[in-house]
Amino acid sequence: MALQDLTPQLRTRLNRMERAVGWFILLATALLIFGFVYYLHNTAKRKGWFKKRVPYFTMIDRATGLRVGDPVMLMGFEVGQITDIKPMPPDYFDYSVYIEFEIKEPDYGYLWTEGSRAKVEADFLGKRVLEVTKGTGGHATYSFYPLHELTLIEAEQSSAEEKWLLAKDVYDESGTNLLVKALTPLKKETLARLRLLGVVKFPAFDEAEKRKAATAVWDDKEGSYVKFVPKPDPKANVYWLVADEAPAVTERLQKLVDVVEQALPNILSLTNQIARALSNSVNLTSNLNLVALNAQPASSNLAHLTAQLQGAGALGEWVLGTNGQRNLDSTLGNANHALANADTNLTLLTENLIRSLDNLAGITSNLNAQVQANTNLLGSISKTVVGADDFVQGLKRHWFLRSAFRNETNATPSAPVPVLSPKQRGLQ
C-alpha cells in the first residue's frame, strides 16, 4: 500500500517510528565506534604504542629460535620487541646474524654503557629468548637533550652556565686517565680545566630543554655523544649491545653425545674390571669354604673344652687341682666365721658404749638441774675452796710445819681471786 493511501494519523505514527529507529541506529553506531576506540586505546596503552622507543642492535652467530616480534626481556619483564633479523654480508666473518630491537620507556633508562649486554638464552624446547641486562655504570646510551657544538669562548660568554652539560669524556694525553666525565655541568671551574687541557671545541647538551624523541646516542669509539639519526635514514646510528650467546639445545645435545662417545671406551673397560673383580670374589669365597671345612675339628675341640669348664668349680679345679681347691674352701670358711664373730663383738661393744654415754648424759642432766634449782650452790663451793686455801696457806706459815714446805719460794702469795656465784656477779 502506497504512503499517500494512509490516513493522516497513520502517517504521523509512521514518521515518529522512523525517527525513533533512526535515533536508535545512530546511538548504536556511536556506541560501537566508542567501544572500538576504547579497545584500541587500551591495546595501545598495554602494548606501549604511545610510549617512546629507542633502537638497539646486537650480532650473534645464528638466529635459531628467534623471530621478528618476539619480546625482549629485562629482569624478567617484557620491555620491547625484536624488529629486524637479517644475515650479515658474506665477507663479514666476525658475526653471522644482525638483530635489531626496540626498548620502550622508561625501561631504556636501565641500559648504560657499562654492564648492559644482550643475552640470547635457549630453553629445553629450543626456543631462544633475547634478554638485556641492567647497566652498572658509565653513561646513558641515549639522551633527549638537544645536542650542540660549542667552542670554549661561546661557553664562557654564555650567561646561563648551569644549563650546559659536557657531552664527551675528556682524557689526558695518554688517553687512559679520565679527567672530565661526560654530563658534567660547564661551570667556570670546568671551563678553566678544559682550557688548561687544550680543548677548544666540544659537544654539549642544553639541559634547559628536553625533547620527546632521542636526540643523541653514545659512541663508544669516539667516547662522546653524537647526533642520533633514526631509521629509515641510511645514515642511521643505533647503539650496539654486545651479545652473550648461549648455544642452542641441539648443539648442547650434540656435545653431550660426543662426550658420551668419548666416555664409552672407558665405561667398557670399567665394566671389564668389575667383571674381573667379581670373578676374584667367587674364587675367594670358594677358598674360604675350604678354610671353614679345615677349621671344623678345631672348633669341635674348643666346644668340648668349654663344656668341661661348665659346672661348679670346673675352672678352679682345672687351675688349682683337687687339694688346692679344698684348702681354699676351708680358708674361706674360717675367714667367714671370724668375720661373723668380729661383727657380733663389735655390736656388743657399740651397745655398751651407747649405754655409758646415756648414763653420762643422765649425770650431766642431773647436775645441770641441781645447779639451776640452787643458784647458791656454786657460791658455797667457792667459799669452801677459799677457806681450804686459807687453811693451807696458814699451815705453810706455822713454825712447826714450815719445814715441810721448805722447797716452796718465800715470795708473798698473791691474793686469791674469789669465785663468785652468778647471783653475786649480778649484784656487783
Looking at residue 428, its pLDDT comes to 55
Domain ranges of the chain: 13-47, 247-280
Residue 102 CB coordination number (10 Å)? 19
Banded pLDDT at 408 (limits 50, 70, 90)? very low
Rg of the chain over Cα atoms, rounded to whole angstroms, equals 62
| Most distant CA atoms of the chain, gap in Å | 198
Beta-strand relationship, 112-114 and 97-104: unpaired
Beta-strand relationship, 216-219 and 142-143: antiparallel
CA distance 201 to 407: 139
Q: What is the mean pLDDT of the chain?
A: 81
Looking at residue 424, its pLDDT comes to 61
List the one residue out of 143, 121, 124 whose CA is nearest residue 132: 121
Global pTM value: 0.52
In contact, 281 and 156? CB cutoff 8 Å: no
DSSP state at residue 267: H
CA distance 5 to 136: 87
pLDDT in tens, 185-223: 988 888 889 888 888 899 999 988 889 899 999 999 999
Task: Give the rounded distance of the alpha carbon of 211 from its chain centre.
Answer: 47
In contact, 229 and 235? CB cutoff 8 Å: yes
Task: Give the rounded distance of the alpha carbon of 15 from its chain centre.
Answer: 84
CA distances from 422 to 26, 45, 376, 425 (A): 137, 118, 8, 5
Burial 254-271 (b: 16+ CB within 10 A, else e): eeeeeeeeeeeeeeeeee
In contact, 107 and 79? CB cutoff 8 Å: yes
Sheet holding 142-143, edge to edge: 142-143, 216-219, 224-227
In this predicted structure, the answer to whether residue 98 has a pLDDT above a threshold of 90 is: yes
CA distance 240 to 113: 10
CA distances from 18 to 15, 22, 99 (A): 5, 6, 60
CA distance 330 to 15: 149
Burial 187-225 (b: 16+ CB within 10 A, else e): eeebbeebeeeebeebbbbbbeeeeeebbbbbeeeebbb
Q: Which residue has the higher pLDDT, 108 or 280?
A: 108
Q: Which of 111-125, 219-233, 354-368 has the lowest mean pLDDT?
A: 354-368
Q: Which residue has the higher pLDDT, 117 or 1?
A: 117
Handedness of CA 302, 305, 307, 313 (dihedral sign): negative
106 preceded by a cis bond (ω within 30 of 0): yes
Q: Give CA angle at 95 (92, 98), nearest 5°.
A: 100
Tell me the three cell numbers of residue 310: 661348665
Tell me the three cell numbers of residue 212: 620527546
Specify the length of the chain in residues. Answer: 428
Residue 36 CB coordination number (10 Å)? 10
pLDDT in tens, 127-153: 789 999 999 999 999 999 999 998 988
pLDDT in tens, 321-371: 666 667 767 787 777 777 777 667 777 877 887 887 788 777 877 777 776
